[in-house]
Amino acid sequence: MHKTDFARIGWISGGVIVWLIVYHFLQPVADWFVDSLLRMTPGARLAEAVRFFVFEYPKVMMLLLLIIFFVGIIRTFFTPERTRKALEGRRTFTGNIMASLLGVVTPFCSCSAIPLFLGFVESGVPLGVTFSFLIASPMINEVAIILLYGLFGWETVFIYISTGLVIAMLAGAVIGWLKLEKWVEPWVFDIHPEQQEEEKTLGITLALRMQAGWDAVKEIIGKVWIYVALGIAVGAGAHGYVPQGFMISLMGSSAWYSVPLSVLIGIPLYSNAAGIVPIVSVLIEKGASLGTSLAFMMSVIALSLPEMIILRKVLRLPLIFTFIGVVGTGIMIVGYLFNWIF
Protein backbone atom coordinates (compact mmCIF):
# COMPACT_ATOMS: atom_id res chain seq x y z
CA MET A 1 0.00 0.00 0.00
CA HIS A 2 1.19 3.47 -0.85
CA LYS A 3 2.13 5.85 1.94
CA THR A 4 -0.45 8.46 0.92
CA ASP A 5 -3.10 5.73 1.02
CA PHE A 6 -2.70 5.62 4.80
CA ALA A 7 -3.37 9.35 4.88
CA ARG A 8 -6.48 8.80 2.77
CA ILE A 9 -7.77 6.07 5.08
CA GLY A 10 -7.08 8.46 7.95
CA TRP A 11 -9.20 11.13 6.30
CA ILE A 12 -12.04 8.67 5.74
CA SER A 13 -11.94 7.49 9.36
CA GLY A 14 -11.89 11.09 10.60
CA GLY A 15 -14.83 11.90 8.38
CA VAL A 16 -16.80 8.95 9.71
CA ILE A 17 -16.15 10.01 13.32
CA VAL A 18 -17.34 13.58 12.62
CA TRP A 19 -20.36 12.09 10.87
CA LEU A 20 -21.22 9.93 13.89
CA ILE A 21 -20.96 12.90 16.26
CA VAL A 22 -23.22 15.10 14.12
CA TYR A 23 -25.69 12.24 13.60
CA HIS A 24 -25.86 11.64 17.34
CA PHE A 25 -26.88 15.24 18.03
CA LEU A 26 -29.51 15.55 15.30
CA GLN A 27 -32.51 14.86 17.55
CA PRO A 28 -31.55 17.35 20.34
CA VAL A 29 -30.74 20.00 17.72
CA ALA A 30 -34.09 19.43 15.97
CA ASP A 31 -35.90 19.64 19.33
CA TRP A 32 -34.02 22.81 20.23
CA PHE A 33 -34.88 24.30 16.83
CA VAL A 34 -38.61 23.60 17.20
CA ASP A 35 -39.06 24.24 20.93
CA SER A 36 -36.63 27.04 21.71
CA LEU A 37 -35.85 28.83 18.47
CA LEU A 38 -39.32 28.73 16.85
CA ARG A 39 -41.01 28.62 20.29
CA MET A 40 -43.67 26.19 19.12
CA THR A 41 -45.90 24.35 21.56
CA PRO A 42 -44.73 20.74 21.88
CA GLY A 43 -47.46 18.32 20.86
CA ALA A 44 -49.26 20.82 18.61
CA ARG A 45 -49.87 19.51 15.09
CA LEU A 46 -47.74 22.06 13.30
CA ALA A 47 -44.91 21.71 15.82
CA GLU A 48 -44.82 17.93 15.40
CA ALA A 49 -44.95 18.23 11.59
CA VAL A 50 -42.02 20.67 11.62
CA ARG A 51 -40.13 18.48 14.09
CA PHE A 52 -40.61 15.45 11.84
CA PHE A 53 -39.17 17.30 8.84
CA VAL A 54 -36.32 19.07 10.65
CA PHE A 55 -35.16 15.76 12.12
CA GLU A 56 -35.87 13.29 9.28
CA TYR A 57 -34.52 15.30 6.37
CA PRO A 58 -30.96 15.87 7.67
CA LYS A 59 -30.93 12.33 9.05
CA VAL A 60 -31.82 10.78 5.70
CA MET A 61 -29.41 13.04 3.80
CA MET A 62 -26.57 12.12 6.16
CA LEU A 63 -27.31 8.42 5.76
CA LEU A 64 -27.38 8.86 1.99
CA LEU A 65 -24.03 10.65 2.02
CA LEU A 66 -22.33 7.93 4.04
CA ILE A 67 -23.77 4.88 2.32
CA ILE A 68 -23.52 6.16 -1.25
CA PHE A 69 -19.87 7.04 -0.71
CA PHE A 70 -18.99 3.53 0.44
CA VAL A 71 -21.25 1.82 -2.09
CA GLY A 72 -19.52 3.93 -4.76
CA ILE A 73 -16.15 2.59 -3.59
CA ILE A 74 -17.40 -1.00 -3.44
CA ARG A 75 -18.79 -0.71 -6.95
CA THR A 76 -15.37 0.05 -8.41
CA PHE A 77 -14.64 -3.63 -7.77
CA PHE A 78 -17.61 -4.76 -9.86
CA THR A 79 -17.72 -3.81 -13.56
CA PRO A 80 -20.40 -5.01 -15.98
CA GLU A 81 -17.66 -6.91 -17.85
CA ARG A 82 -16.71 -8.90 -14.77
CA THR A 83 -20.35 -9.58 -13.95
CA ARG A 84 -20.96 -10.79 -17.46
CA LYS A 85 -17.95 -13.06 -17.32
CA ALA A 86 -19.22 -14.56 -14.08
CA LEU A 87 -22.63 -15.25 -15.61
CA GLU A 88 -21.64 -16.55 -19.05
CA GLY A 89 -23.21 -19.88 -19.91
CA ARG A 90 -24.80 -20.45 -16.51
CA ARG A 91 -28.04 -22.18 -17.24
CA THR A 92 -29.19 -23.60 -13.97
CA PHE A 93 -30.73 -21.84 -11.03
CA THR A 94 -27.24 -20.90 -9.78
CA GLY A 95 -27.13 -18.35 -12.59
CA ASN A 96 -30.29 -16.65 -11.35
CA ILE A 97 -28.99 -16.51 -7.80
CA MET A 98 -25.65 -15.06 -8.87
CA ALA A 99 -27.26 -12.59 -11.25
CA SER A 100 -29.59 -11.28 -8.54
CA LEU A 101 -26.74 -10.83 -6.07
CA LEU A 102 -24.49 -9.19 -8.66
CA GLY A 103 -27.38 -6.96 -9.70
CA VAL A 104 -27.25 -5.35 -6.28
CA VAL A 105 -23.59 -4.34 -6.49
CA THR A 106 -22.96 -3.77 -10.19
CA PRO A 107 -23.33 -0.11 -11.12
CA PHE A 108 -26.13 0.32 -13.63
CA CYS A 109 -28.38 3.16 -14.69
CA SER A 110 -31.60 2.74 -16.62
CA CYS A 111 -30.18 4.55 -19.67
CA SER A 112 -27.66 1.69 -19.95
CA ALA A 113 -30.37 -0.97 -19.79
CA ILE A 114 -30.22 -1.73 -23.53
CA PRO A 115 -26.45 -1.95 -24.03
CA LEU A 116 -26.24 -4.04 -20.87
CA PHE A 117 -29.04 -6.35 -21.97
CA LEU A 118 -27.45 -6.79 -25.41
CA GLY A 119 -23.99 -7.27 -23.97
CA PHE A 120 -25.23 -10.01 -21.66
CA VAL A 121 -27.44 -11.88 -24.12
CA GLU A 122 -24.89 -11.85 -26.94
CA SER A 123 -22.07 -13.25 -24.90
CA GLY A 124 -24.23 -16.21 -23.93
CA VAL A 125 -25.78 -15.19 -20.64
CA PRO A 126 -29.20 -16.92 -20.73
CA LEU A 127 -32.28 -14.71 -21.02
CA GLY A 128 -33.69 -15.70 -17.62
CA VAL A 129 -30.37 -15.00 -15.90
CA THR A 130 -30.15 -11.61 -17.62
CA PHE A 131 -33.64 -10.80 -16.33
CA SER A 132 -32.69 -11.73 -12.78
CA PHE A 133 -29.97 -9.10 -13.07
CA LEU A 134 -32.27 -6.51 -14.65
CA ILE A 135 -34.88 -7.00 -11.91
CA ALA A 136 -32.54 -7.05 -8.91
CA SER A 137 -30.49 -4.07 -9.99
CA PRO A 138 -33.14 -1.34 -9.72
CA MET A 139 -35.26 -3.14 -7.13
CA ILE A 140 -32.57 -3.34 -4.47
CA ASN A 141 -31.41 0.17 -4.55
CA GLU A 142 -29.14 1.85 -2.01
CA VAL A 143 -31.36 4.93 -1.70
CA ALA A 144 -34.37 2.77 -0.85
CA ILE A 145 -32.30 0.78 1.66
CA ILE A 146 -31.13 3.92 3.45
CA LEU A 147 -34.59 5.45 3.57
CA LEU A 148 -36.14 2.23 4.86
CA TYR A 149 -33.44 1.99 7.51
CA GLY A 150 -33.90 5.60 8.53
CA LEU A 151 -37.68 5.44 8.74
CA PHE A 152 -38.40 1.85 9.80
CA GLY A 153 -35.22 0.24 11.11
CA TRP A 154 -33.07 -2.64 9.99
CA GLU A 155 -35.73 -5.39 10.21
CA THR A 156 -37.63 -3.83 7.34
CA VAL A 157 -34.41 -3.42 5.37
CA PHE A 158 -33.74 -7.12 5.83
CA ILE A 159 -37.26 -8.05 4.68
CA TYR A 160 -36.94 -5.74 1.69
CA ILE A 161 -33.56 -7.05 0.54
CA SER A 162 -34.38 -10.73 1.03
CA THR A 163 -37.80 -10.61 -0.63
CA GLY A 164 -36.41 -8.43 -3.45
CA LEU A 165 -33.67 -11.00 -4.10
CA VAL A 166 -36.13 -13.89 -4.04
CA ILE A 167 -38.42 -12.12 -6.53
CA ALA A 168 -35.48 -11.41 -8.87
CA MET A 169 -34.25 -15.01 -8.69
CA LEU A 170 -37.64 -16.64 -9.18
CA ALA A 171 -38.92 -14.21 -11.83
CA GLY A 172 -35.72 -14.70 -13.83
CA ALA A 173 -35.97 -18.46 -13.41
CA VAL A 174 -39.59 -18.46 -14.61
CA ILE A 175 -38.73 -16.32 -17.63
CA GLY A 176 -35.85 -18.67 -18.44
CA TRP A 177 -38.05 -21.72 -18.00
CA LEU A 178 -40.72 -20.32 -20.35
CA LYS A 179 -38.07 -20.06 -23.13
CA LEU A 180 -39.09 -16.65 -24.39
CA GLU A 181 -36.08 -16.02 -26.65
CA LYS A 182 -38.49 -15.89 -29.63
CA TRP A 183 -39.84 -12.59 -28.29
CA VAL A 184 -36.48 -10.88 -28.29
CA GLU A 185 -36.06 -8.75 -31.42
CA PRO A 186 -34.19 -11.02 -33.90
CA TRP A 187 -31.44 -8.53 -34.74
CA VAL A 188 -30.25 -8.75 -31.16
CA PHE A 189 -28.60 -12.08 -31.87
CA ASP A 190 -26.96 -10.84 -35.07
CA ILE A 191 -24.58 -8.34 -33.56
CA HIS A 192 -21.12 -9.65 -33.06
CA PRO A 193 -19.06 -7.17 -31.12
CA GLU A 194 -15.41 -6.85 -31.94
CA GLN A 195 -13.27 -8.17 -29.19
CA GLN A 196 -11.88 -5.13 -27.42
CA GLU A 197 -8.95 -5.36 -25.09
CA GLU A 198 -9.87 -5.92 -21.48
CA GLU A 199 -9.71 -2.67 -19.61
CA LYS A 200 -7.05 -2.76 -16.97
CA THR A 201 -8.96 -2.36 -13.75
CA LEU A 202 -6.10 -3.85 -11.76
CA GLY A 203 -4.19 -0.57 -11.78
CA ILE A 204 -7.00 1.35 -10.13
CA THR A 205 -5.73 3.16 -7.06
CA LEU A 206 -7.40 3.96 -3.77
CA ALA A 207 -7.49 7.61 -4.84
CA LEU A 208 -9.53 6.69 -7.92
CA ARG A 209 -11.88 4.52 -5.86
CA MET A 210 -12.46 7.37 -3.43
CA GLN A 211 -13.03 9.68 -6.36
CA ALA A 212 -15.64 7.23 -7.68
CA GLY A 213 -17.35 7.17 -4.27
CA TRP A 214 -17.39 10.94 -4.15
CA ASP A 215 -18.68 11.20 -7.73
CA ALA A 216 -21.52 8.83 -6.84
CA VAL A 217 -22.42 11.01 -3.84
CA LYS A 218 -22.51 14.16 -5.96
CA GLU A 219 -24.51 12.53 -8.72
CA ILE A 220 -27.12 10.72 -6.63
CA ILE A 221 -27.59 13.41 -3.99
CA GLY A 222 -27.75 16.06 -6.71
CA LYS A 223 -30.57 14.07 -8.27
CA VAL A 224 -32.59 12.95 -5.24
CA TRP A 225 -32.32 15.74 -2.63
CA ILE A 226 -35.47 17.42 -3.91
CA TYR A 227 -37.49 14.18 -3.98
CA VAL A 228 -36.38 13.30 -0.48
CA ALA A 229 -37.40 16.81 0.66
CA LEU A 230 -40.78 16.55 -1.08
CA GLY A 231 -41.43 13.03 0.20
CA ILE A 232 -40.55 13.94 3.78
CA ALA A 233 -42.53 17.22 3.54
CA VAL A 234 -45.61 15.26 2.42
CA GLY A 235 -44.85 12.80 5.20
CA ALA A 236 -44.51 15.61 7.74
CA GLY A 237 -47.78 17.19 6.62
CA ALA A 238 -49.66 13.91 6.88
CA HIS A 239 -47.88 13.16 10.14
CA GLY A 240 -49.62 15.99 11.96
CA TYR A 241 -52.88 16.25 10.08
CA VAL A 242 -54.12 12.96 8.65
CA PRO A 243 -55.92 11.02 11.39
CA GLN A 244 -54.47 7.73 12.58
CA GLY A 245 -56.29 4.83 10.96
CA PHE A 246 -57.23 6.84 7.88
CA MET A 247 -55.74 4.30 5.47
CA ILE A 248 -57.20 1.17 7.06
CA SER A 249 -60.17 0.72 4.70
CA LEU A 250 -58.07 1.33 1.57
CA MET A 251 -54.72 -0.25 2.33
CA GLY A 252 -55.36 -2.24 5.49
CA SER A 253 -54.71 -6.00 5.53
CA SER A 254 -58.43 -6.87 5.66
CA ALA A 255 -59.06 -5.40 2.19
CA TRP A 256 -58.06 -8.28 -0.11
CA TYR A 257 -57.92 -6.05 -3.22
CA SER A 258 -55.46 -3.64 -1.63
CA VAL A 259 -52.35 -5.59 -2.69
CA PRO A 260 -53.06 -5.92 -6.45
CA LEU A 261 -54.40 -2.36 -6.48
CA SER A 262 -51.21 -0.97 -4.95
CA VAL A 263 -49.10 -2.88 -7.48
CA LEU A 264 -51.18 -1.53 -10.38
CA ILE A 265 -51.01 2.03 -9.11
CA GLY A 266 -47.28 1.67 -8.54
CA ILE A 267 -46.33 0.78 -12.14
CA PRO A 268 -46.91 4.16 -13.85
CA LEU A 269 -45.69 6.17 -10.85
CA TYR A 270 -42.31 7.83 -10.90
CA SER A 271 -39.59 5.27 -10.39
CA ASN A 272 -37.51 7.15 -7.85
CA ALA A 273 -37.14 5.47 -4.46
CA ALA A 274 -36.22 8.74 -2.78
CA GLY A 275 -39.69 10.26 -2.82
CA ILE A 276 -41.73 7.13 -2.31
CA VAL A 277 -40.28 5.67 0.89
CA PRO A 278 -41.14 8.64 3.19
CA ILE A 279 -44.68 8.54 1.84
CA VAL A 280 -44.88 4.80 2.44
CA SER A 281 -43.75 5.37 6.03
CA VAL A 282 -46.69 7.70 6.55
CA LEU A 283 -49.12 5.27 4.88
CA ILE A 284 -48.09 2.65 7.41
CA GLU A 285 -48.36 5.05 10.30
CA LYS A 286 -51.88 5.94 9.23
CA GLY A 287 -53.06 2.36 9.14
CA ALA A 288 -51.91 0.83 5.85
CA SER A 289 -50.56 -2.68 6.38
CA LEU A 290 -46.88 -3.51 5.94
CA GLY A 291 -47.40 -6.03 3.13
CA THR A 292 -49.53 -3.69 1.05
CA SER A 293 -47.14 -0.79 1.54
CA LEU A 294 -44.13 -2.95 0.70
CA ALA A 295 -45.87 -4.19 -2.46
CA PHE A 296 -46.66 -0.63 -3.45
CA MET A 297 -43.06 0.49 -2.95
CA MET A 298 -41.56 -2.46 -4.83
CA SER A 299 -43.93 -1.91 -7.72
CA VAL A 300 -42.98 1.77 -7.94
CA ILE A 301 -39.26 1.01 -7.87
CA ALA A 302 -38.99 -2.24 -9.85
CA LEU A 303 -41.67 -1.87 -12.50
CA SER A 304 -41.12 1.48 -14.12
CA LEU A 305 -42.85 2.56 -17.27
CA PRO A 306 -39.83 4.48 -18.67
CA GLU A 307 -37.65 1.38 -18.41
CA MET A 308 -40.30 -0.71 -20.21
CA ILE A 309 -40.35 1.83 -23.02
CA ILE A 310 -36.57 1.65 -23.31
CA LEU A 311 -36.65 -2.16 -23.29
CA ARG A 312 -39.30 -2.17 -26.02
CA LYS A 313 -36.46 -1.50 -28.48
CA VAL A 314 -35.07 -4.98 -27.92
CA LEU A 315 -38.01 -6.96 -26.57
CA ARG A 316 -41.38 -7.67 -28.14
CA LEU A 317 -44.52 -6.71 -26.25
CA PRO A 318 -45.48 -10.26 -25.13
CA LEU A 319 -42.12 -10.56 -23.38
CA ILE A 320 -42.49 -7.16 -21.73
CA PHE A 321 -45.96 -8.12 -20.49
CA THR A 322 -44.66 -11.46 -19.26
CA PHE A 323 -41.92 -9.58 -17.43
CA ILE A 324 -44.45 -7.23 -15.80
CA GLY A 325 -46.77 -10.16 -15.03
CA VAL A 326 -44.10 -12.36 -13.45
CA VAL A 327 -42.51 -9.59 -11.38
CA GLY A 328 -45.93 -8.16 -10.44
CA THR A 329 -47.11 -11.60 -9.27
CA GLY A 330 -43.95 -12.00 -7.20
CA ILE A 331 -44.53 -8.62 -5.56
CA MET A 332 -48.16 -9.48 -4.83
CA ILE A 333 -47.14 -12.76 -3.20
CA VAL A 334 -44.75 -10.79 -0.97
CA GLY A 335 -47.55 -8.35 -0.15
CA TYR A 336 -50.04 -11.07 0.83
CA LEU A 337 -47.37 -12.99 2.70
CA PHE A 338 -46.53 -10.03 4.91
CA ASN A 339 -50.15 -9.07 5.44
CA TRP A 340 -50.70 -12.63 6.58
CA ILE A 341 -47.66 -12.78 8.88
CA PHE A 342 -48.11 -9.39 10.56
Partner 1 sequence: MMDIKILGTGCPKCKALEKLTREVVAKASIEATISKVENVIDIMRYNVMMTPALVVNEKVLMKGRIPSADELQRLLTNIA
Residues within the interface to partner 1 (CB under 8 A): 79-81, 84, 107-109, 111-112, 114-116, 118-120, 122, 187, 191, 193-196, 199, 212, 215, 313-314
Q: In terms of CB distance, is 109 or 317 closer to partner 1?
A: 109
215-217-219-222 Cα dihedral, nearest 10 degrees: -140
How far the first Cα of the chain sits from its last, in Å, is: 50
Minimal distance in Å, beta carbon 168 to partner 1? 19
**Residue 144: other Cβ atoms inside 10 A:** 25
State how far the alpha carbon of 312 is from the alpha carbons of 192, 224, 321, in Å: 21, 27, 11
Q: In terms of CB distance, is 196 or 244 closer to partner 1?
A: 196
Minimal distance in Å, beta carbon 215 to partner 1? 7
Minimal distance in Å, beta carbon 272 to partner 1? 15
Phi and psi angles of residue 168, each rounded to the nearest 5 degrees, phi first: -60, -40
Minimal distance in Å, beta carbon 205 to partner 1? 13
Minimal distance in Å, beta carbon 111 to partner 1? 3
As a residue count, the chain comes to 342
Q: In terms of CB distance, is 81 or 181 closer to partner 1?
A: 81
**Residue 318: other Cβ atoms inside 10 A:** 11
> Which of helix, strand or coil describes residue 255?
coil
Q: In terms of CB distance, is 120 or 152 closer to partner 1?
A: 120
Kindly tell me the sign of the dihedral angle through the C-alpha atoms of 22, 26, 29, 33.
positive
Q: In terms of CB distance, is 265 or 309 closer to partner 1?
A: 309
Q: Which amino acid is at 256?
A: W
Minimal distance in Å, beta carbon 72 to partner 1? 11
Minimal distance in Å, beta carbon 187 to partner 1? 7
Residue 186's Cβ-side half-sphere holds a number of Cα atoms within 13 Å equal to 0
Q: In terms of CB distance, is 38 or 109 closer to partner 1?
A: 109
**Residue 133 and residue 96 in contact, taking contact as beta carbons nearer than 8 Å:** no
Q: In terms of CB distance, is 2 or 85 closer to partner 1?
A: 85
- CB crowding 45-66: b at 16 or more within 10 Å, else e: eebbbbbbbbbbbebbbbbbeb
Q: In terms of CB distance, is 111 or 265 closer to partner 1?
A: 111
State how far the alpha carbon of 249 is from the alpha carbons of 106, 253, 287, in Å: 40, 9, 9
Phi and psi angles of residue 123, each rounded to the nearest 5 degrees, phi first: -85, 10
Minimal distance in Å, beta carbon 74 to partner 1? 15
**Residue 159 and residue 294 in contact, taking contact as beta carbons nearer than 8 Å:** yes
Distance CA 226, CA 186 (A): 41
